[in-house]
Amino acid sequence: MISLKGFFRGRTAIQPIWIFVIAIFIFFSFMSEYFLSLGNITNILVQTSTIGLIALGMTYVMINGNIDLSVGAILGLAASLAVGLQDYGLTIAIIVALASGILLGAINGLVVWKTGVNAFIVTLGAMLGIRGLIFLYTGEQSFYSMNFAFADFGASTIGPFPVLAIIFLFCTLVMHLVLTRTGHGRNTFAVGGNPEAAIDAGIRLGRHMMINFIIVGFFAALAGVLLASQMGAATPNLGRDYELWTITAVVLGGTKLTGGYGSITGTLGGVLAIGILRNGMNLMQVPAFYVLVILGVILISVLIIDKKLNVPSTKEVRI
Amino acid sequence: MTPIQGSTGQRQLIDAEPVLKLEGITKRFPGVVALNKVDFDVRPGEVHALLGENGAGKSTLMKVLAGKHQADEGTIILSGEEMAFENPKHAKRAGVVLIHQEQSLVPGMTVAENIYLGSLPKKWGNRVDWPKLREDTNRILETLKCSFQHDDLVGSLSIAKKQMVEIARALVFTPRVVVFDEPTASLTDHEKPVLYDIIRNLQKQGVGIVYISHRMDEIFHLSHRISVLRDGEYTGTVNTCDTNEDEVTRMMIGRSLELDHASKPTEFGENMLELRNLSVRRIFEDVSFKVRKGEIVGMYGLVGAGRSEVAETIFGLRGYTAGEVVMDGEVVNFRNTHDAVVKGIALVPEDRKEQGLVLGMNCRDNMTLASLSSVSSMGFMKGLAELSVYDKYHQAMKIKSPSWRQKVGNLSGGNQQKIVIGKWLHTHPKLLILDEPTRGIDVGSKAEIHALVKDLAKSGYAVLVISSEMPEVLGLSNRIIAMYEGRVTAEFDGDSVSEDVLVQAITGQNTEQRASPKPEAV
């Protein structure tokens, strides 16, 4: 156990979630003959790209000490707009859809910043309200895309790689660099880790919070557009429970709900863990309801292990 | 040194059998021996002071005693009986109570509920016996001469009053040994005598007292014996009446230290900061003073006198309602701290853990927190530039940290404070405001920080120091601003003012005379 603790400490430590990802990857490789193939692996990436994109933004918001429950609703609205507005031209439809995410994120951020009301409450309200807007806009109807370019995009590939997977991995890389290499990233940690110290250091708290809400709003909308193009359609209930899956992935990746800790690499691991488990159990023909039970148990177990591993660091002797 | 009321005469050494005896206590943490065969004992009715720099092992020893840690070797003997405390509750039941420096109160509960937390008086049917709770609490508050009520919310009390609640909590059990860990760290000179009375009362009841503090004056005032730890080793025990501060300091750090009054800055430039009749409604009123380049101005007063609030107002954390702040020749009213930082103001806050540092971040990241634009281009951080900033202040201030990757939460108070100061120096401020710069810091680091502040002033910074410690204010300041209940009661020359005049000014006596006025001159 001691050596295990030492192994996880320090900057270059491998995050526990990645050990888990590797373990289940190997496990399913042996359990199912279909699992270990290029086709299936790119398939996992495509399946996880929706949750994954939102999780990138959610990581920022959660490191910042906030949370956004409205992402599933934003995804649903953006998907409906992207399909429903195609009469005005595909470009306009997509721009409006993405802009709706940015705008709603900005409103969330502004309310949290200016009123000081807890982000959980603000975005809970936004989640209900935006879902209502979707029903108003769609009249409870599903929209189908008549534009084949749109529907084809979701299934297109560059060489053997699906475009959706490439977009997801590219965004992951960019978001990782922004979080670890920029002033905004650093301040996001500072504000989440200790808001008072951040204010004392002359950091403009509200600005960073708002930027992060805009980022997550944008990614939720992007995920909505891509999901709609994958399905060639948008339903008013699209994105239900996605906020919970996203938060699950982010938390699995080691980001703390209380803020100040987290990483994009961890989130990628969390997203992949969920994707591989669902895909692998699917291939092993585990009934869907068991999959949910197993995922729930795994989420709690991983967090318990993480907690056990992290306890010693707080007991370190002061120097 | 601070004058202390009451007897300072020699105390009778108590020659009874120790109520508590620690023998050969050894405690290891991964990679470090925190305590190495330490012996310690307390006799009933005695105050035994435990001294040592931060990191010397005092707190660890006390945690072993109070059951928070378990010793790897050694024995604890309480009233002749060998004990092995498994947890703090166990120790408390046996009569060993630790009054901790980090407070553990529930802010949303009343004083009474906090005092009896976990042991509320119950009546039939497991219901809380409120009348009894009220009565018992009032009795304890009375013996402590507290100025607050049993039904006050703890969250609304000042730090000093919270400390009183903490002490009150210890009195619920009939303690045999009470450990005070830095009890006066958050008290002003005015409030200390109350604590001393409490300690004397406990003593009379035959309770053994362990008193941990950095403050020599208190230790010499209160204790019968002094034991010293250094780097986890027991360096010896002396009778207080047979020793002096120099000897004890040498035992602690192996050299002697003294606040050097002579080395204050002497050359001042033009006004850097000027407050003109500054007021914030219901907080402070009509505050006027100046700080010049190269000058150290001390702000002295009781907790709650409005000193920190004045600093916060200058720094843009609060808006002011009347008067004006003139910074570097320009009237300013900052809307946020960012503007204040840009204008060249730095505030080293009162509570470094709560306000000064992001504890989960490493040393380097904390150091550059206030000046990210200087170590980044196009929004991207330049790792090497950051590292060179860290190295510069790491060396200049002799920060003891194994590497820049160390989380600041794992550093000692003195080193944490140096990081906060380093963070501000790198913003190249013109005005440096230090709020209680040496609270809870060991003697060695304290002297280093004092020397640093003087050097900074000499190199042209305007410095405003807020402190509740008289020796610190006297030892550092060119001028001293005394505050009482939101008003400036007097301004003194830092070299010539006497201690009693200063005490009068901060306790509201002689306010109409403005003792020894030296507003413009100096």
Q: What is the mean pLDDT of residues B343-368?
A: 89
Residue of A nearest to B29 (CA): A317
Task: Identify the pLDDT of residue A305.
Answer: 78
The predicted pLDDT at position B1 comes to: 38
C-beta contacts of A203-208 below 8 A and 24+ residues apart? A203/B337, A203/B338, A203/B369, A203/B370, A204/B336, A204/B338, A205/A113, A206/A113, A206/A114, A208/A64, A208/A184
Average pLDDT over residues A165-179: 95
- ipTM comes to 0.73
pLDDT bracket for residue B261 (50, 70, 90): low
Between CA A110 and CA A103 the distance in angstroms is 10
Percentage of residues in chain A having pLDDT higher than 70: 92
The CA distance from B248 to B133, in Å, is: 44
SS3 of B151, please?
coil
Please report, in angstroms and rounded to a whole number, the separation of the first and last CA atoms in chain A.
24
What does the pLDDT look like over B210-235, one tens digit per residue?
998 877 788 888 899 999 888 788 88
- Per-residue pLDDT tens for A94-143? 999 999 999 999 999 999 999 989 999 999 999 999 999 999 999 989 99
* pLDDT given for residue B438 in this prediction: 86
Residue A3 has pLDDT above 50, yes or no: no
Using 50, 70 and 90 to split pLDDT, how confident is the model at B32? low
- Half-sphere CA count of A94, side-chain side, radius 13 A: 16
Check B360 against A261: CB less than 8 A apart: yes
Domains B20-101+166-253 and B261-344+429-506 are alike in CATH topology: yes
Alpha helix ranges (H) inside B111-259: 111-115, 130-143, 159-172, 192-204, 216-222, 245-253
- Distance (Å, rounded) from C-alpha A217 to C-alpha A213? 6
- The rounded distance, in Å, linking the Cα atoms of B207 and B197 is 14
- Least confident segment among A184-193, A217-226, B409-418, B505-514: B505-514
* Residue B491 burial (10 A CB sphere; 0-12, 13-18, 19+): buried
Which pTM was predicted?
A: 0.72
Overall average pLDDT of the B66-77 stretch:
86
| SS3 state of residue B430 | coil
Q: Which of A183, A196, A198 sits opposite B381 (nearest CB)?
A: A183
B369–chain A Cβ distance below 8 A for any pair? yes
Dist. CA B335–CA A28, nearest whole Å: 58
Q: Which residues lie across from B21 on neighbouring strands?
A: B41, B77
Is A197–B340 a contact, with Cβ atoms under 8 angstroms apart?
no
The stretch B479-506 carries a mean pLDDT of: 86
Instruction: Tell me the nearest-neighbour CA distance from B382 into chain A, angstroms.
Output: 8
| CB-based contact, B335 to chain A, within 8 Å | no
Query: Does residue A78 surpass a pLDDT of 70?
Result: yes
| Pairing mode, strands B284-292 and B271-280 | antiparallel
Which letter does DSSP use for residue B355 in this model? Answer: I
Cβ-based contacts of B368 with chain A (< 8 Å): 186
* Cα A213 from Cα A205, distance rounded (Å): 13
Encode pLDDT of A198-247 as tens digits. Answer: 988 888 899 999 999 999 999 999 999 999 999 999 999 999 999 999 99
Give the separation between CA B155 and CA B149, rounded to whole angstroms.
Answer: 13
Given a cut of 80, is residue B254 above it in pLDDT? no
pLDDT mean across residues, chain B: 83
Percent of chain A whose predicted confidence (pLDDT) is above 90: 66
Per-residue pLDDT band for B522 (boundaries 50, 70, 90) equals very low
Give Cβ neighbours of residue B441 (< 8 Å, ≥ 6 apart): B54, B214, B413, B414, B417, B449
Say which DSSP state B411 is in: S
Instruction: Give the integer Cα–Cα distance in Å for B229 and B519.
Output: 46
**Sign (positive or negative) of CA dihedral B504, B505, B510, B513:** positive
Contact B167, B187 (CB under 8 A): no
- Measured CA to CA in angstroms, residue A242 lies from A98, A133, B3, B514 at distances of 18, 17, 66, 68
Pairwise CB contact (< 8 Å): B411 & A183 = no
Count CB neighbours of B75 within 10 A. Answer: 13
Among candidates A199, A260, A319 on the partner chain, residue whose Cβ is nearest the Cβ of B55: A319
Size of interface A-B (CB pairs under 8 A): 107
Identify each DSSP E strand in B30-72 by its residue range.
Answer: 32-42, 47-51
B347 touches chain A (CB under 8 A): yes
**Per-residue H/E/C for B173-190:** CCCCEEEEECCCCCCCCC
- For residue B457 the two structure tokens come to 């002033």
Please list every residue in chain A whose beta carbon sits closer than 8 Å to the beta carbon of residue B380.
181-183
Tell the CATH superfamily of the B20-101+166-253 domain. P-loop containing nucleotide triphosphate hydrolases (3.40.50.300)
* β partners of residue B229: B234
Question: Between the CA of residue B241 and those of A315, B9, B223, what are the distances in Å?
Answer: 38, 9, 9
CA B322 – CA B282 distance, rounded (Å) = 12
User: CA of A296 to nearest chain B CA: how many angstroms apart?
Assistant: 29
Burial of A220 (0-12, 13-18, 19+ CB in 10 A): buried
CB contact under 8 A, A318 and B405: no
Determine the Cα–Cα distance for residues A187 and A208; give it in Å rounded to an integer. 7
- Specify the amino acid at residue B140: I
Q: Which amino acid is at B26?
A: T
CA-CA-CA-CA dihedral for B434, B439, B443, B447, to nearest 10: 10
Q: What is the pLDDT of residue B444?
A: 76
Q: Give the CATH superfamily of B261-344+429-506.
A: P-loop containing nucleotide triphosphate hydrolases (3.40.50.300)
List the single residue in B30, B342, B405 with the smallest CB-CB distance to A11.
B405
Q: What is the pLDDT of residue B258?
A: 54
| Unique residue bearing structure tokens 């009470």 | B178
| C-alpha to C-alpha distances, B322 to B275, B278, B290, B476, B499, nearest whole angstrom | 11, 6, 17, 30, 32
For chain B, the domains span 20-101+166-253, 261-344+429-506
